[in-house]
Amino acid sequence: MIPKPIPLRNEELFRLAMRHRSAAPNPVADSYERLEFFGDSVLGLVIAQYLYEHHPTWDQGMLSKAKSSVVQEAPLAEVAKKLGLDEFIEVGPSEEATGGRQRPSIMADVLEAIIGSVYLESGLEVARWFVLEQLHPYLLRISGGDVSPNDYKSKLQEVAQSFWRQSPIYRVVRETGVAHEKRFQVQVVFDNETIGEGEGRSKKEAEQDAARDALGVIDRFKRARAEAQHPFSQ
C-alpha cells in the first residue's frame, strides 16, 4: 500500500521506486536508478523556481547556497523517513545485512525516485505540490536568511582561522559503489592529524559531513578544557 501523503496511484511504479539495484534482476530496468535520476532533475527545478520567485533580492550565490542546503542527502533522507519509505525499500541480502534500508543515501535516492514517479503519473504541478509540501520546513528555515544551515565547511574554516590561523585540508580516503551510486569517505586534517571523518554521495557532501564531525570534536575539546580550568563552576 502506498503511504497516503504520496500522490501516487500506480502500485507497480511505487514498487519500482522502492527497489534498490541489489534486489533487482536487471539493475537498469528493475531498480529505482532511472527514476531517481529523473526525480533529481524535477526536484532541482521545483526548488530553484520556488527560490527564484520567493526571494527576488537574492543574487545567484545566495540562491545557489539555499538550493544546495535543501537538495542534499540529509533533508531528503529525513523526509523519506518521515513518510515511512524505509519500510517499503527492497534491498538485496548483502545490503539488508548492513542496514541498507536505513542508509541515508538510499532513503534520499528513493525519495527522488518517488518524485520522478509522481511527475510521470500526474505531471509537474502535482510533483511541485508534493515537493514543496514535504520540504516546507527546510524552505521556511532558509527563508529566514540562514541559506546554508548545513554549511559546516564554512563554519569550520572560521573556527580554524580564528584559533589556529590555518585552513583545514580535506582528503578522499575511499570511494565505493558503482558509477551511479558512488560513496565517498573523506577526512579533514589539521597539521597531519585527522580530526573529522565523513561520508556522502558526492565529495562535497562527504566534506560537509567530515567538517560537521570535526566541529563536534572541537566543541567537545573546548568544553572539556573549560571544565578542567573551572572544575567548580557548575
Residues labelled catalytic: 40, 112
All 3 cell numbers of residue 107?
532513503
Query: Residues near 79 by Cβ (< 8 Å), separated by ≥ 6?
Result: 111, 134, 135
Long-range contacts of 158-166 (CB under 8 A, 24+ apart): 159/215, 159/218, 160/190, 164/190, 166/190, 166/191
At 232, the amino acid letter reads F
Give which of 19, 5, 209 is closest to 100, Cα–Cα: 19
How far is the C-alpha of 34 from the C-alpha of 148, rounded, in Å? 29
Helix runs in the chain, H state only: 11-17, 33-54, 60-70, 73-82, 93-97, 104-122, 124-134, 136-143, 152-164, 203-229
Question: Residue 149: what are its φ and ψ, rounded to 5°?
Answer: -65, -20
